[in-house]
Amino acid sequence: MENTIERQGIPLLGDKFPKMTVQTTHGMKVLPDDMKGKWFVLFSHPADFTPVCTTEFVAFQQRYEKFRELNTELIGLSIDQVFSHIKWEEWIKEKMGVEIQFPIIADTGAVAEKLGLIHPGKGSNTVRAVFIVDAHGTIRIMLYYPQELGRNMDEILRVVEAMQFADKNKVAMPANWPNNEILKDRVIIPPPADVEGAKKRLENAAKEGYECYDWWLCHKKV
């Protein structure tokens, strides 16, 4: 008899985002189906009415239009009832002058368990996780933060833009792109995969419009 083992726990990069029906502040949604054709950033927070989480939601909302310009939606999540989410949104609007326009999932714990979001040793609180999912429903980036550290939303914006740029142009992105210390906003050509390709890489540089430090490190302006 064939022995098959079903993998449990946190999804891996390159996995399809698991299908789920969730209650949100914008009604019931089916993920990733309802986001078909769009990228989305699903981010969990430990709890409503907490200081760091409040600063994060304001920061996400202030960049919401920039995400949407990248064909990317935002979805929050915590193990709180939808009534708590709604009341917290009202508090943020009243006290901070910011209206939260993206949906927040009211999780019973099932979504957090499936995605591996429960913070070890801290009851039902979720970690500060970020799942970046592409327009085909594939998980492209995962980020995890402890409760004590708020996220950098500009970095999340940067990695979404960088991944979309890499996909479109079939290139790799240097550190801190588009402000790399060596290459500035130039991008990296994936290195050749065989000896023949390595030999020709430097020979073809001028003709193909790229520059090289060596055959394995070539870059170009896109």
Q: What residue segments make up the domains of the chain, in order of their start?
A: 20-151, 170-222
In this prediction, residue 6 carries a pLDDT of 44
CA atoms within 13 A on the CB side of 136: 7
| Mean of the per-residue pLDDT values of the chain | 92
In this prediction, residue 122 carries a pLDDT of 59
Residue 212 among the catalytic residues: no
Model confidence at 118, pLDDT cuts 50, 70, 90, reads: confident
Four-way CATH pick for 170-222: 3.30.1330.10, 3.30.750.24, 3.30.1020.10, 3.90.226.10:
3.30.1020.10
Residue of 31, 53, 159, 189 marked active site: 53
In this prediction, residue 112 carries a pLDDT of 86
CATH of region 20-151 = 3.40.30.10
Beta strands in 37-158 (DSSP E): 39-44, 72-78, 104-106, 128-133, 139-145
- State pLDDT tens for residues 168-179: 999 999 999 999
Q: Is the pLDDT confidence value at 40 over 90?
A: yes
- Which has the closest alpha carbon to 132: 53, 7, 14? 14
Give the DSSP letter of residue 17. P
Q: What is the pTM of this model?
A: 0.90
Q: Is the pLDDT confidence value at 69 over 50?
A: yes
In this prediction, residue 10 carries a pLDDT of 77
Sign of dihedral through CA atoms 47, 48, 54, 60?
positive
